[in-house]
Amino acid sequence: MLGDIKKLLGEESKKLKKPILLLTVDTFFNMFFYSMLYFVLLDLIKEELSFSKIKTYSMIMIPALVGRMLINSKGYTEIQAEGARAIESMRISLGDHIRNINLGFFNKNSIGNLSNIMTNDLQDFEMVITHSTGDLIKTVFLTIYLLIITFFIDYKLGLIQLMVICVAMPVIYIGGQRVTTIGKQKKEVMNEVISRLVEYLNGIQVFKAYNLVGEKFERLEKAFRDFKKESIRTEVAIVPFVLIFQIIVDISFPLLLIIATMRFGEGSIDKREFLTFIIINLALTNILRAFAAQYGVFRYLKLASKKLIQTYNHPEMTYTYEEGNFQNYDIEFENVNFEYEEGENIINNLSFQSKEGTMTALIGPSGSGKTTITSLIARFWDVKDGTIKIGGKDIKDIKPDSLLKHVSMVFQDVYLLNDTIYNNIKLGNQRATKEDVVRAAKIANCHEFIEKLENKYDTIVGEGGSTLSGGEKQRISIARAILKDAPIILLDEATASLDTDNEIEIRKSIKKLTADKTVIVIAHRLNTIKDADQIIVLNEGTIEEQGSHEELMENKKRYWNMYNEMEKAKKWSI
Ligand SMILES: Nc1ncnc2c1ncn2[C@@H]1O[C@H](COP(=O)(O)OP(=O)(O)OP(=O)(O)O)[C@@H](O)[C@H]1O
């Protein structure tokens, strides 16, 4: 466990030493009470117990008690504070780490698992730091300390006491292993619960529209039922082992007393040693019983640190340069191959160049790899082989965060934060002033509708922007991109989901956004890309055709066919 804490907290773990030491000292103070009991019993046996002696013992006890309280509160407060501090910085570093991992990590981890890592596992790890580790260290120190004293009294009694512990420990250890196995299953089910819950909340409109609320709720209910079952299983998994452990410890108490009495009878130990042994045996029994009760919880909490370590071990995307410092913003694909899953090539030996300040339109059937190409330029994923260069520099050499400073993405699925419109636009540039934000909103043709809202720029847009229409959300995301003013624009053109007014407004603002930029646009309608500098027709991750509208029309291949189909459809609709 200490190894896990060191791995996860690094140098920070050293700060835990002092509070754990204080809490251990506090436990030794607890022994003080047993010492008092020892002296009282000794006096009783010697028939020397008097009121004045009890008074003296009490006078010693009071400062000991105050001392203990001070040490305990200092140790407890410090460990809580250090725990909270450590978890706070871990939350940030874990967030940073996950941000820098290839998106494949998100493919392999469900939303439930990711949420649990960032919430429950971190919380469990905080418990490990603030409670379990200290408790275990105290138990180990106290047990060793009491055993040593027993060995000093009589090595034979010490050996028997040690034997009892050696017999009992494997029992609780096996119980702990069961907790680990069942606890893992519980965590899986917990991931499922969160995934189902998110699915249910996100899809509630669709489920209602298709009258699936009952069916989907059944999936959610099943996840809740499974979770309850696994929680009970985890709780009770260790119970039989704790009972056996405690029975062994409990039975050993009278047995050890019998043996101690025999040793006393033989004259191997004197009255004083006999009494000391009884008290130590009593203290040890209590410590071991308490340890058994905590051990299952400890093993369960330990699972969280293993999961956190696994997440940290997932490698971040590598880079050589902190900053891009691009000479220009030409984008170049050179023999690029890419696959999401091993053996399933999505992009096949793709090469093309998009010159600075020009617009390249990607068209092709669904699944041909258009979105994948834009994700590769943003370095959400790394290519399998080949290179993608910006201004002649391989983007694999640039820190992903820095690369994204040069790229703006405007996609159809706009996600707005549950914050004010002002803050949502300002995300594009944190240093922007109020005037900059309003200017960007005006260019993006959203200033007018924002001004009509009751709270204007201070209107909260709801989770994901739920209080705004699709077109309004799009325009805010364009304002954000205008504010960012990045030299490369990756654009997923809006589909027919927008009404004509909205579409005209959006088209106008996109025109302003993309002027003089290197633009890669995923086009869904051919009439919008006639003016593009080049059009790339994709099929199954390869380039089928490439050129300007005029060139492709002359080629009379797929593009020509698609264009003619579109023209025919237009006439029909007229
Ligand atoms: N995150 C992912 N994990 C695994 N496979 C993916 C992932 N994203 C896309 N794919 C697969 O990669 C292929 C290309 O997808 P992509 O989204 O790039 O196509 P597209 O041309 O943009 O399609 P559309 O026009 O429908 O948006 C598809 O077969 C898709 O199923």
Q: Assign 139 a pLDDT band (cuts: 50, 70, 90).
A: confident
pLDDT at position 203 over 70: yes
CA 339 – ligand 1 centroid, Å: 10
* Bridge partner list, 537: 363, 545
- Is the C-beta atom of 265 inside 6 A of ligand 1? no
Handedness of CA 516, 517, 518, 522 (dihedral sign): negative
Task: Judge if 239 and 289 occupy the same domain.
Answer: yes
- Domain endpoint, select from 313, 343, 373: 313
Mean pLDDT of 92-99: 88
CA of 476 to the centre of ligand 1 (A): 26
Residue 217: pLDDT above 80?
Answer: no
Cβ neighbours around 42 below 10 Å, total: 15
**Contact 344 CB / ligand 1 (< 6 Å):** no
374 CB within 6 A, ligand 1: no
Specify whether 235 is located in the same domain as 185.
Answer: yes
- As a whole number, mean pLDDT of residues 158-176 equals 92
Instruction: Quote the ligand 1 centre to 340 CA distance (angstroms).
Output: 9
Give the Å distance between the CA of 35 and the centre of ligand 1. Answer: 73
In this prediction, residue 240 carries a pLDDT of 92
- Taking the C-alpha atoms of residue 455 and residue 443, their distance in angstroms, rounded to an integer, is 21
Q: 107 in ligand 1 pocket by Cβ < 6 Å? A: yes
Q: Give the residue whose CA is nearest to atom 2 of ligand 1.
A: 340
For residue 97, the domain's CATH number is 1.20.1560.10
Position 490 pLDDT exceeds 90: yes
Q: Let me know if residue 396 belongs to a domain.
A: yes
In a domain, 177, yes or no: yes
pLDDT at 465: 66
Angle at 204 between CA 198 and CA 208, to 5 degrees: 155
Cβ of 366 less than 6 Å from ligand 1: yes
Say if CB 192 and CB 226 are below 8 A apart: yes
pLDDT of residue 104: 72
To test the pocket of ligand 1, the residue of 371, 491, 520 to mutate (highest count of ligand atoms within 8 Å of its CB) is 371
Among 313, 337, 363, identify where a domain stops. Answer: 313
Residue 285 · residue 249 · CB < 8 Å: yes
Q: Whose CA is nearest to atom 26 of ligand 1?
A: 366
pLDDT tens-digit readout, 556-569: 888 898 888 887 77
Residues 12, 98 share a domain: yes
510-541 per-residue burial string, b: 16 or more CB within 10 A, e: under 16? beebbeebbbbbbbbebebbeebbbbbbbeeb
Rounded Cα distance between 254 and 235, Å, is 30
The residue-averaged pLDDT of 114-125 equals: 89
For the segment 426-453, the average pLDDT, to the nearest whole number, is 91
Mean pLDDT of 219-242: 88
Of the candidate ranges 81-95, 323-337, 385-399, the one whose mean pLDDT is the lowest:
81-95
The residues facing 408 across adjacent strands are: 489
For the beta carbon of residue 440, count every other beta carbon within 10 angstroms.
28
In a domain, 549, yes or no: yes
Atom of ligand 1 nearest to the CA of 372: 18
- Residue 51: C-alpha distances to residues 38, 58, 161, 387 (Å): 16, 10, 36, 90
Whether 231 is in a domain gets the answer yes
Residues 126 and 201 in one domain: yes
- Same structural domain for residues 260 and 338? no
pLDDT in the model for residue 169 = 93
Residue 500 lies in a domain: no
Nearest-CA residue for ligand 1 atom 30 is: 367
Provide the domain limits for residue 433.
407-485
Q: Which two tokens mark 87?
A: 């978890």
Same domain, 254 and 331: no
- Please compute the mean of the pLDDT values over residues 165-183 and round it to a whole number: 93
| Ligand 1, atom 11, residue with closest C-alpha | 367
DSSP 101: B
**Token digits of residue 431:** 């240093």
In ligand 1, the atom with minimum distance to the C-alpha of 375 is: 18
Q: What tens digit of pLDDT does each residue of 30-88 get?
A: 777 777 877 888 888 878 888 888 888 888 888 888 888 899 899 889 988 988 888 88
Is residue 278 located within the same domain as residue 417? Answer: no
Most confident residue range from 25-34, 104-113, 535-544? 535-544
Tally the domains of the chain. 3
Compute the average pLDDT of residues 107-119.
Answer: 83
- Best residue among 366, 411, 536 to mutate for probing ligand 1's pocket (most ligand atoms within 8 Å of CB) is 366
Give dist(CA 418, CA 415) in Å, integer: 9
In terms of average pLDDT, the best of 109-118, 193-202, 379-388 is: 379-388
- Cα 381 to averaged position of ligand 1 atoms, centre (Å): 13
Residue 97 CB contacts under 8 Å (≥ 6 apart), including other chains: 311, 312, 314, 316
Q: Is the CB of 372 under 6 A from ligand 1?
A: yes
Q: Is residue 505 part of a domain?
A: no
Residue with tokens 């949502």: 424
DSSP code, position 486: -
3-state secondary structure of 373: helix
Given 281, 313, 345, which residue is the final one in a domain? 313
CB 317 within 8 A of CB 382: yes
Question: Which pLDDT score, from 0 to 100, does residue 425 have?
Answer: 93
Using the predicted structure, report yes or no on whether residue 369 has a pLDDT greater than 90. Answer: yes
Tell me: pLDDT of 391 over 90.
yes
The answer to whether residues 301 and 326 belong to one domain is: no
CA distances from 169 to 162, 172, 176, 289, 409 (A): 11, 5, 10, 11, 59
Average pLDDT of 375-388? 92
User: Ligand 1 pocket, 537 CB below 6 A?
Assistant: no
13 lines ligand 1 (CB under 6 A): no
**Rounded alpha-carbon distances, angstroms, from residue 200 to 115, 206, 216, 327, 386:** 15, 10, 7, 48, 41
Express as a percent the part of the chain with pLDDT over 90. Answer: 32
Domain match, 412 and 480 both: yes
Q: To which H or E segment does residue 497 belong?
A: none
Domain containing 354 — which CATH number?
Answer: 3.40.50.300
346 lines ligand 1 (CB under 6 A): yes
CA Rg value for the chain: 35
Q: Are both 205 and 188 inside the same structural domain? A: yes
Question: Where does residue 136 rank: exposed (0-12), middle (13-18), buried (19+ CB within 10 A)?
Answer: middle
User: H or E stretch including 417?
Assistant: none
**Whether residue 292 is found in the same domain as residue 325:** no
Q: What span, in angstroms and rounded, lies between the C-alpha atoms of 362 and 368?
A: 10
The residue whose CA has the least distance to atom 5 of ligand 1 is 340
CA atoms of 389 and 14, how far apart (whole Å):
44
Average pLDDT over residues 309-315: 90
In a domain, 499, yes or no: no
The answer to whether residue 501 sits within a structural domain is no
pLDDT in tens, 256-297: 889 989 988 988 888 888 888 888 888 899 889 988 988 888
Among 368, 377, 412, 521, name the best residue to mutate to test ligand 1's pocket (greatest count of ligand atoms within 8 A of Cβ). 368
Mean pLDDT (the chain, rounded)? 87
Summarize the confidence of residues 243-260 as an average pLDDT: 90
Decide whether any atom of ligand 1 lies within 6 Å of the 365 Cβ: no
Contact 350 CB / ligand 1 (< 6 Å): no
Q: State residue 220's pLDDT score.
A: 81
Ligand 1 centroid distance, CA of 372 (Å): 6
Greater pLDDT, 544 or 416: 544
Is the per-residue pLDDT at 299 higher than 80? yes
- Same domain? For 339 and 299 the reply is no
- Closest-CA residue, ligand 1 atom 25, reads 366
- Average pLDDT estimate for 513-518: 87
**How many whole angstroms from its chain centre is CA 70?**
37
pLDDT at residue 574 in the model: 47
